[in-house]
Structure 1
Amino acid sequence: MNLLRSSFYNRQLPHDALKISLIAVLCLCYTFKSSAQSTIPFSYSQYMNNLTPINSAYAMVDQAGSITGAVRKQFTGIEGAPSTYLVNANIPLPGLGAATGFIVQSDQIAIEKQIEANFFFAKSIQLDDRNFLAVSANAGISSYKANYLLIDNNNDPLFNANVNETRLNAGIGMLLYSDTYYIGFSMPQLTFRSLGTASVQGDNYFRNHYYLAGAYLAELSDDFKFKPSGLAVYTKGTPITANITGIIYMKDLLGFGAGYTTNSQASFLLDVNVGNLHIGYSYQVGTNGSNLSGYNNAIHEIMVGFRFGEGSSTPKDL
């Protein structure tokens, strides 16, 4: 039995699944605010075309193997400006109806830096002739560093020592999908230290991350498709951040779109597909005076992906 989406082209999304997807996307607009010590939630603008680093169950959406790299930089000329580096690979296991791979990512904001490396395994089951449910598990290691001594406030006991900690990491993901939509929930950074009694420690720098993501592919005509997508991320002690993005594709070769994130950031995206090579670029700027919008404060993101193996000749939409 084929558990992969390529055998279900040109079929419509069931009414119930569409309603669930729309409700989920609307929920992504909600923003929750609280105050506490923050950690770094991993994020990037082009998640809709490479969700695996956030939810490894997404590896089941495509029957081809792939390797993807991304760089996200804020060019302010200031040391410690936000930057992200990412490499992930998906390797299909058709005989098992499964996939495996790895994810390596690095996020840095000011004095904080977090590096994470994970291996994952994902498996899909067929719910009916159109819909699938994929589940995944990942395990690896996380490293967190914070150079608090760089802050000119040594009289504050919260900043009188640097932090350098490494912990084992585990995560899970679930994804409901067909050839025209996906909606999923994941916890890729599920650290047990933040689950039990150890969480009462004031220096708990590893916290669970919760992601909700969804996308829908609408065929407008033979040449044009539209893909709206949404992502929300929450970490205890930080506000929920939500993003809504829409991309229009022409002949599966060129895509352009825009998005908005609830932390007052707007993004503009460009996608180019040449054979098995995918190149994506996004330009993100602030939308109000408090985040100093302007060219020098803009965030540039480049993503390059290559598909290989059986099924790589079939265009990948989701």
Structure 2
Amino acid sequence: MLNSKLFKVNFDFPAKGLLVFLFVFVVASNSLFAQQDAQYTQYMYNTVSVNPGYAGSRGQISIAALHRSQWLGLEGAPTTQTFNIHSPIGYNGLGMGLSIVNDKIGPTSETNFDVDFSYTIMLAAERRLSFGLKASANLLDVRFSELNQYTTDQTLQQDIDNRLSPNIGAGVYYHTDKFYAGLSVPRILETSHFQESSLSTAKEQMNFYFITGYVWDLNPFLKFKPTLLTKVVQGAPLQVDVSANFMFNERFIIGGAYRWDAAFSGMVGFNINSNFLIGLAYDRETTELGSAAFNDGSFEVILRYDFISTKNNLKSPRFF
């Protein structure tokens, strides 16, 4: 998806001048900016977005919608919306999912339409290994002309308009009733978007993910789940997200997270019933950007609904 270094700002110099200069320098000097996948704090509730092997693993139709506003107070800062639905298909270990992800940073926006397929092997009681494939179509739109008020550089005069490109991804996902782990590359093809009349290029980058988590029953009313997400992208810093959540009485969820060398986060969630979850997260940057007066942190909300059948043997809300 989008590189979070690329966004338009609307505040007084020197901050505005410095950030615009960095944008122009990256595009004009390097002639390329790399696209990275969207960032989520509540990734543990949005697993199908990063690993197609997760599709259908909840055992019933599951629908989720997420909104993220990053760096509140900064005009042109990243915003992300996702919607996904996935379900097992029949009784042959097959699963399928559909996702839409919209990501916007300043003059740059893109939308991904994904179709996920998974096949699950029963290794033993409550032990499942799933293999997933993702087929996607990407629409990229870059309004370089919006930067004209800041620069007259001719390399930034040509927009990229709704450039369509296909892609594929893959993942493997293992889980029991208490543990899960997965490896995935949601987008394998490194497509370059080049304008002949411009020196600018937007390039898809492969994002490698490793996710894992475990649920401990501390007592009959309290569960504890630590999780880990690691993302590796060529040319970008290693991303490591560590979180810890507690679930009380199968209803209330509270926890915190740390994104290595980037941010601290607080999370709360509530299972309205066995079907419906609402989750909220707030991030505070630990970088110099986090201490800036115009940055009020990042906010995220997710809604998830599971169509639990009376024939389903799910006795309590799933923690992953």
The one of 170, 174, 177 aligned to 1:176: 174
The Cα of 1:288 is off from its aligned counterpart by: 3.8
Secondary structure of 1:57's match?
helix
Secondary structure of 1:220's match?
strand
Distance (Å, rounded) in 2 between the aligned partners of 1:289 and 1:166: 36
Question: Are 1:60 and 1:123, in contact at CA under 8 Å, matched by a contact in 2?
Answer: no
Identity %: 22
**In the alignment, structure 1 residue 118 sits paired with structure 2 residue 118:** no
**In the alignment, structure 1 residue 314 sits paired with structure 2 residue 310:** no
Secondary structure of 1:227's match?
strand
Question: Are 1:287 and 1:293, in contact at CA under 8 Å, matched by a contact in 2?
Answer: no
Deviating more after overlay: 139-148 vs 217-226? 139-148
Secondary structure of 2:267's match?
strand
What are the within-5 Å matches in structure 2 for residues 65-84 of structure 1? Answer: 65-74=61-70, 76-84=72-80
Distance (Å, rounded) in 2 between the aligned partners of 1:133 and 1:73: 34
Secondary structure of 1:61's match?
coil
Deviating more after overlay: 148-157 vs 237-246? 148-157
Deviating more after overlay: 101-110 vs 143-152? 143-152
TM-score by length of 1: 0.80
**In the alignment, structure 1 residue 163 sits paired with structure 2 residue 126:** no
Secondary structure of 2:191's match?
helix
Question: Are 1:37 and 1:237, in contact at CA under 8 Å, matched by a contact in 2?
Answer: no
Q: 2:13 maps to what in 1?
A: none
Secondary structure of 2:80's match?
strand
Letter in 1 for 2:93: G
Letter in 1 for 2:81: Y
Question: Are 1:103 and 1:117, in contact at CA under 8 Å, matched by a contact in 2?
Answer: yes
The Cα of 1:192 is off from its aligned counterpart by: 5.4
Q: 1:239 maps to what in 2?
A: 237
1:16-67 CA distances to partner (integer Å, 9 max, x unpaired)? xxxxxxxxxxxxxxxxxxx973323222111112301111211343112111
* Structure 1 residues 293 and 306, CA gap change in structure 2 (3 angstroms): farther
The one of 243, 262, 265 aligned to 1:264: 262
Q: 1:7 maps to what in 2?
A: none
* Structure 1 residues 128 and 313, CA gap change in structure 2 (3 angstroms): closer
Deviating more after overlay: 224-233 vs 143-152? 143-152
Q: 1:45 maps to what in 2?
A: 41
TM-score by length of 2: 0.79
Distance (Å, rounded) in 2 between the aligned partners of 1:188 and 1:45: 18
Distance (Å, rounded) in 1 between the aligned partners of 2:105 and 2:221: 41
What are the within-5 Å matches in structure 2 for residues 128-167 of structure 1? Answer: 128-151=124-147, 152-155=150-153, 157=155, 159-164=156-161, 165-167=163-165
Q: 1:5 maps to what in 2?
A: none
Deviating more after overlay: 253-262 vs 48-57? 48-57
Q: 2:299 maps to what in 1?
A: 300
What are the within-5 Å matches in structure 2 for residues 201-212 of structure 1? Answer: 203-212=201-210
Deviating more after overlay: 255-264 vs 160-169? 160-169
Distance (Å, rounded) in 1 between the aligned partners of 2:241 and 2:293: 20
Letter in 1 for 2:159: N
Letter in 2 for 1:285: R
The Cα of 1:314 is off from its aligned counterpart by: 3.1
1:104-134 CA distances to partner (integer Å, 9 max, x unpaired)? 0111122321210111111110223342210
Distance (Å, rounded) in 1 between the aligned partners of 2:140 and 2:126: 42
* Structure 1 residues 155 and 204, CA gap change in structure 2 (3 angstroms): closer
Question: Are 1:144 and 1:205, in contact at CA under 8 Å, matched by a contact in 2?
Answer: no
Secondary structure of 2:47's match?
coil
In the alignment of these two chains, the number of paired residues is 277
Question: Are 1:283 and 1:301, in contact at CA under 8 Å, matched by a contact in 2?
Answer: yes
Show structure 1 runs of 5+ residues with no match. Answer: 1-34, 195-200
Secondary structure of 1:150's match?
helix
Distance (Å, rounded) in 2 between the aligned partners of 1:139 and 1:312: 31
The Cα of 1:287 is off from its aligned counterpart by: 2.0
Q: Which has the higher contact order (CA 8 A, sep 6+)?
A: 1
Question: Are 1:65 and 1:307, in contact at CA under 8 Å, matched by a contact in 2?
Answer: yes
Distance (Å, rounded) in 1 between the aligned partners of 2:88 and 2:134: 16
The Cα of 1:306 is off from its aligned counterpart by: 0.7
* Structure 1 residues 235 and 143, CA gap change in structure 2 (3 angstroms): farther
Secondary structure of 1:213's match?
strand
Letter in 1 for 2:315: T
Distance (Å, rounded) in 2 between the aligned partners of 1:74 and 1:123: 35
Secondary structure of 1:95's match?
coil
